[in-house]
Amino acid sequence: MLEIESPASPQTIDLKDYKIPDYYIETVDLHFELGEKQTTVRSRLAISRYSEAKAPPLVLNGEALELLSIQLDGQVLDKKDYQQNPESLTLFQVPERFTLEIETRIYPQDNTTLSGLYTSGGNFCTQCEAEGFRRITYFLDRPDVMARYTTTIVADKKKYPVLLSNGNLVAQGEEDNGHHFAKWQDPFPKPSYLFALVAGDLARIEDEFVTRSGRKVALHMYVQSHNRDKREHAMASLKRAMAWDEQVYGREYDLDIYMIVAVDDFNMGAMENKGLNIFNSKYVLAKPETATDTDYENIEGVIAHEYFHNWSGNRVTCRDWFQLSLKEGFTVFRDQQFSADQGSPAVKRIQDVNHLRTYQFREDAGPMAHPVRPESYVEVNNFYTMTVYEKGAEIVRMLYHLLGPEGFRQGTDLYFDRHDGQAVTTDDFVKALEDANALDLSQFRRWYSQAGTPELRISRAYDAEKSTYTLKIKQTCPPTPGQPHKAPLHIPLAIGLLDSQGEDLPLRLAGETTAVTGTRVLELRQEEEAFVFHDIPCEPAPSLLRSFSAPVKLYLDLRDEERYFLLAHDKDRFNRWEAGQQLAVKIILGLVKDYQQGKPLVLDSAFIETVGRILESDEPDQAFVAHILALPSEHYLAEFMAVIDPDAIHETRCFIRRSLAKALQELFAATYQALTKTGAYRRDPKEMGRRKLRNTCLGYLMELDEPDIRSQCLQQFNHADNMTDVIAALSRLVDIEGPERKIALQTFYDKWQEDSLVIDKWFTLQALSRRQDTLARVQELTHHPAFKLTNPNKVRALIGAFSQGNPARFHDPSGKGYGFLGDYVLKLDPLNPQVAARLVSAFNPWQRYDQNRQELMKAQLERIAKTPQISKDVYEIVSKNLA
C-alpha cells in the first residue's frame, strides 16, 4: 500500500474501545464576547468524577483555540498544572467535584471549515455536530456527556441585533459602548454537539403552535430581510410536522419557543440543535418563482426531519458516534413516513428506494462499505453516509414491518419513556421494541453490525394437482472490507400472489387454518428456506418484496410477460413501478452488449407499446405515471455491470429515449398539450403531478431536437410562472447545440444573478449537460464571479454535480475529469476538509472500471495521498481506496 503522508498519523477510533467518561459535566455557563476580528469565550463548568476510586487526569478536547486563562475552584492554574497540544488540554490533578473556568480566544471570521463558531454573510453561527464544539472552548466533546447549558451573548447591538442560543430567553439588556446581551437557558441536559449560537442582523417571522395539551409554543424563523417572502412554506411545514408527531408518535414539543435560522454557508442540510435549528438556506427559502416542486418537497422533509430530532436525537441521544444511526436512521424513517402522509405514499417510496439503490448500494459495494453501526473510524464526519442514514432508515422500516403499526408504536413509546434524557445505543432501541412486543430480535440485530447488501435468490414451483405454490429462498451477502463471512439475517419479505385477473390470492401456509388476503410478510431467518402456500387454484404471478420491505437485491427469473402483467395489474404500486424498472434494466443491458459489440440497436416493440399504454392510461396519480416513464439512471444501471462502461450506458440510454420519442411523438405531444395548466399556479399533489408528467413528456420530445420542439421548450422557459417549469425547460436546452441554449442560459442568469440559491441551479444544470464540452464549461464556471470555493452549496452545485452526477462526462477516457476533481480536492482540503472528503468519494468505485480508467483514477488518488498534511477526512477515504 502507498505510504500516505498525514499531519499526525490519524488515530483509528474503535467501538470495542468505548469506555464511559472519567468525568461528567453537570452544568455549563458560557459567555461570548463577539467581535469583528476575534471572539472571547468564557466557560464555567461544574465537573464531577465518575468514580471515587481513581483520579485520572482530566483530558479536554480543543482545536484551534488560543488559551487565555484557567481557574480551578477560583484558583488560577500555573502552566505546570496542565499540558496543551493541538487537540487537547490535560489537567493532571483535579478533585472529585470542582468548578473549572476557562477563557479562550477564537477567530470565527477566519474559520472556513464551517465547524464550530464561524461567520456567514456577516452573521455568526455554529455547527457543532459532530466535533465542532471543541473549536469553541475546551470541553469533554462527546455525546455521552450531557449537561444543562446557560449561554450569555454580548455583541454590538447595531451590527448584531439578534442574539440566539438554545432553550428559553431568560434575560436581555443593554451594555456600554453600544453593546447588548441576551441570556439563554436550556432546561434539558444535552451533549455539546447540540449547542447552537446565532448572532446577526436577521428578519424574524413569527407564528404559534398550540400543543395537544394546550401549551402555546412561539415559532420564530430568522432569514435575511430580502428573503422574508420565502419562508411561508417552511413555517407551514413545521406546523404540520409538529401536529403529525403528536398524532403518530405521541410526542409533544417541550420548550416555550422553537427557532429556525437560515444561513448560506453550511456543510450540511440542517442541524437539530435543541430549540434552535440552523438550516442551510436551500432547505428553508422557497417561493414559486425561485423554487421547484422538488425544492418544496425537500424543504418539507428536512424541516420535519430536524423537528422530529427533538425526541429521536435530542431528548434521547446517541451514546457515541458509532451509534449515529440511532438518531439519524430512526429520524429519516420518521420524516419519510411524514412526507408519504402529505402526498402520494407510492411516489415517496419510489423516490426513497431509487435514491437508496442508486447510491447506498454502491457504497455497500465499495471500499468505504461499513455497517450501519460502524466498528471503527478515523474521522467521524466521513460516517455521515447513505449507509448510516438511508440504510439505517430501512432497518427501522423492517422493524415496522415485523411489528406492525400498533406494535411499533408501543415499542417507540417505551423507548422514549425509558431513555428520556439519556445517551443510548442501537441495542437499547431494539431492546425497547422487543420488550414492548415480547419478541426476540437477537438475530435482527445483525443488520446493525454487518455491512453489505444482502441478496435473495428465489425459485418457484407450482403443483397443479396439490394446488400448492412453493417459494424457495436463499440469502447471501457478499464479503466487504473486514467482513469476509456473513451470518444469516432476519429479513421481512412482503409478498403477494396474483391470479390471472390481477387479484391478490388468499395465502395460507401449511399448518395454518386461515388465509391472509393481500400482502403477507414472510420472516426469513435461515440461509435457505422454503414456503409452501396451499389452496392456490392457478399458477400465480409472484409480487415479491412489496413496498421494498427490506434493503436487499432480489433475483427472481421472471418472464417478460410476467413483468408486463405486474406492471399493469399489481395492487402494490411500488411493485408496479419496479416491474417496469426490471423490464427497462433488462432491455438496456441487452442493448449495451449490442453497442459494445458494434451491433445495430433496435428497441423492443412491446416496450414501446407498453409506454404508450401507460401514457394513455387513466391513472389519476400523474406523478406516479411520470416515475414509471422514467428510465433507470446511469448510476443505477452501472450497478449491474461487472466492468462499468459509462459510454455504452449513456449512449444506449439516450438511444432508447430517442426511440421512444420518435415512436410516440404524437402521444407525447398530445399529453403535453392536454396537461397545460388552465388556472393560477397551485402547489398541491395533483398540480405537482401534472407538472411532473407534462415535463416528462417535454423531456422525451426534446430528444428529437427538432426546431419546432426547441422553440416550444424555449417558449415554456420564457413564459412559465414557476421555477419547476422553467428548470424543466432549461435542463433540456442545456444539452442542445442550437442558439436557444445560449439565449436561455444568459436570460436565466441576468434575471436571477442576485439570488444565490437560484444561481446554484444554473451551475448544476450546466454541470449535468450531456454536451462534449461540459468539462470545459465547468472549468470556466469555477472562475465565474458567482462561484465561491468557500461556499459548500456552490461547490456541490458545480464540482459535485459534475463529478457525481454526470458519469459520461466525468469518466471521459482522457482522464481530464479525474484531474479536474483531484485539483479541487487539493484546493478545498485546507479550507474545508468535510467538503473535500465528499468530493473525493467520487473515486470510490474506481476499481470497477476498465483498466485505463482505473489507472487514471488511481493516479489521482496517489497524487492526493502524496500531498503533505492532507486532512483526516480526506486521508481516511483515500487510504481505504488505495488499500
Using CA of residue 434, residue 437, residue 438, residue 442, what is the dihedral sign? Answer: negative
Instruction: Give the residue range(s) of CATH 2.60.40.1730 domains in the chain.
Output: 24-200
Closest CA to 45 of 167, 149, 153, 128: 149
Grid cell 458494434 is found at: 598
Q: Which CATH superfamily is domain 753-883 in?
A: Peptidase M1, alanyl aminopeptidase, C-terminal domain (1.25.50.10)
Determine the Cα angle at 387 with ends 386 and 389, to 5°. Answer: 65
Query: DSSP 3-state assignment of 26?
Result: strand
User: CB–CB of 291/285 below 8 Å?
Assistant: yes
Grid cell 484551534 is found at: 64
Instruction: Give the residue range(s) of CATH 1.10.390.10 domains in the chain.
Output: 319-551
Is 306 designated active site?
yes
pLDDT greater than 90 at residue 649? yes
- φ/ψ (deg, to 5) at 404: 80, 160
pLDDT at position 798: 98
Q: Which candidate in 129, 272, 306, 390 is catalytic?
A: 306
User: What is the share, in percent, of the chain residues with pLDDT greater than 90?
Assistant: 98
Report, at the CATH architecture level, how domain 24-200 is classified.
Answer: Sandwich (2.60)
**CA dist., res. 266 & res. 757, Å (int):** 13
Query: DSSP 3-state assignment of 422?
Result: strand
721-777 residue pLDDT tens: 999 999 999 999 999 999 999 999 999 999 999 999 999 999 999 999 999 999 999
485-507 residue pLDDT tens: 999 999 999 999 999 999 999 99
The span from the first CA to the last CA of the chain, in angstroms, equals 6
Instruction: Give the residue range(s) of CATH 1.25.50.10 domains in the chain.
Output: 753-883
Q: How long is the chain? A: 883
201-222 residue pLDDT tens: 999 999 999 999 999 999 999 9
Grid cell 393481500 is found at: 518
Give the cell for residue 69: 486563562
Give the cell for residue 312: 429521536
How confident is the model over 138-151, as a mean pLDDT? 98
- pTM reported for the whole predicted model: 0.97
Helices (H), 420-461: 426-437, 446-449
CATH of domain 319-551: 1.10.390.10
pLDDT greater than 90 at residue 10? no
Determine the Cα angle at 795 with ends 790 and 798, to 5°. Answer: 145
Q: List, in sequence order, every residue forming a beta bridge with 543; answer none if it has no partner.
A: 496
pLDDT at position 51: 77
The count of C-alpha atoms lying within 13 angstroms of the C-alpha of 207, restricted to the half-sphere facing its C-beta, is 18
